């Protein structure tokens, strides 16, 4: 359910500029809903791509990612714990890997899918993409994303996104700093993300890597304290009566 592809890149002078790695969520029939295995595959793929010059994270089909696959969380709260833990590790891995990470957020980036944007260095989307955290109404806390989302959009807008189940458009995500490029055409987002990665790959790798490492140090994402506390906040209500009732109602509906 995770597909890895490599692409060789030619530098400005026609010389080989190494390769980029495309990590593709490949479960289009479920809008790339995340399972624990997919999150582990994503982490393994990103770790194995350490020698790549840039990484693209994409989703197959109509949407980048619709969030967690909650089917197994219906009977068993531990399944949600495993997903939250995997998501937290995945975001940290993307953030800290040496190569810059470009996410192609086409169609939808919801809940855990939106959280993945927090690990990205660059996000490409399109005007009518649907983005956000429709999870408090399920009795689930998106707090896990806060340490990363606040760096992109600021604390004020982080509140708006996390406490409100409503989704925003790709244009609004671009306007508020969650996305860095916004195209008209959903069908061109993935190709554009690959093109951006190729452009990054053609730049001297040492400068990019040192800069990314330093940005993480400046904004604190090289440290585990806040990601740990944020994960603990989301974990603290897993298995609550509220969550059990609301998830059960989701399947009745």
Partner 1 sequence: MAEIVELNMAGPIARVTLNRPEQRNALSIDLLAGLHARLDELAERGKAEGPRVLVVSGAGKSFCAGMDLKQVLGEPGAPLKLLTLLAEACIKLRALPFPTIASIQGAAIGGGCGLTTVCDFAITHADCKMGFPEVDLGVSPAVVAPWLVRKIGAGRARAMLLRGGLMSGRDAHAAGLVSECVDQVEGLEAATNSLAERLATGGPRALEATKGLLNEIDGSGDVGLAQRSARVSAEVLALPEAQAMLRSKLGL
Residues making contact with partner 1 (CB under 8 A): 135-143, 146-147, 150, 154-160, 162-166, 176, 226, 229-230, 233-234, 236-237, 240, 242-243, 246
CB of 150 to partner 1, least distance (A): 7
CB of 173 to partner 1, least distance (A): 14
Beta bridge partners of 168: 131
Phi, psi of 18 (to 5 degrees): 75, -155
Q: Choose between 137 and 213: whose C-beta lies nearer to partner 1.
A: 137
Beta bridge partners of 20: 7, 54
- Taking alpha carbons only, the member of 80, 105, 91 closest to residue 46 is 91
CA distance 102 to 92: 15
Side by side, the strands of the sheet bearing 168-169 are 108-110, 130-132, 168-169
Per the CB < 8 A criterion, the answer to whether 136 and 233 are in contact is no
Q: Choose between 52 and 158: whose C-beta lies nearer to partner 1.
A: 158
Q: Choose between 165 and 169: whose C-beta lies nearer to partner 1.
A: 165
Q: Choose between 44 and 136: whose C-beta lies nearer to partner 1.
A: 136
CB of 219 to partner 1, least distance (A): 13
CB of 66 to partner 1, least distance (A): 19
CA distance 69 to 114: 14
CA distance 73 to 117: 23
Per the CB < 8 A criterion, the answer to whether 71 and 233 are in contact is no
Q: Choose between 104 and 138: whose C-beta lies nearer to partner 1.
A: 138
CB of 134 to partner 1, least distance (A): 10
């Amino acid at each position: 359910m995770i597909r890895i592809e490599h692409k060789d890149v030619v530098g400005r002078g026609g010389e080989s500029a190494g390769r980029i790695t495309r990590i593709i969520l490949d479960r289009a029939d479920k809008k790339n809903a995340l399972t624990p295995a997919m999150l582990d595959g994503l982490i393994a793929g990103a770790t194995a791509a350490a020698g790549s010059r840039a990484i693209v994270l994409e989703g197959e089909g109509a949407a980048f990612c619709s969030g967690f696959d909650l089917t197994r969380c219906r009977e068993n709260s531990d399944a949600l714990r495993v997903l939250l833990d995997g998501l937290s590790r995945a975001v940290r891995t993307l953030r800290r890997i040496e190569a810059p990470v470009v996410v192609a957020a086409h169609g939808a980036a919801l809940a855990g899918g939106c959280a993945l944007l927090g690990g990205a260095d660059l996000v490409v989307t399109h005007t009518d993409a649907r983005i956000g955290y429709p999870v408090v109404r399920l009795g689930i806390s998106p707090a896990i994303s806060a340490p990363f989302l606040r760096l992109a959009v600021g604390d004020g807008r982080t509140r708006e996104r996390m406490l409100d189940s409503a989704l925003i458009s790709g244009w609004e995500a671009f306007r508020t700093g969650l996305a860095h490029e916004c195209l008209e055409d959903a069908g061109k987002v993935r190709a554009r993300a690959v093109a951006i990665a190729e452009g990054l790959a053609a730049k001297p790798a040492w400068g990019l890597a040192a800069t990314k490492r330093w940005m993480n140090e400046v904004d604190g994402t090289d440290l585990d304290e806040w990601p740990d506390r944020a994960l603990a906040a989301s974990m603290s209500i897993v298995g609550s009566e509220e969550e059990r009732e609301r998830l059960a109602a989701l399947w009745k509906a």
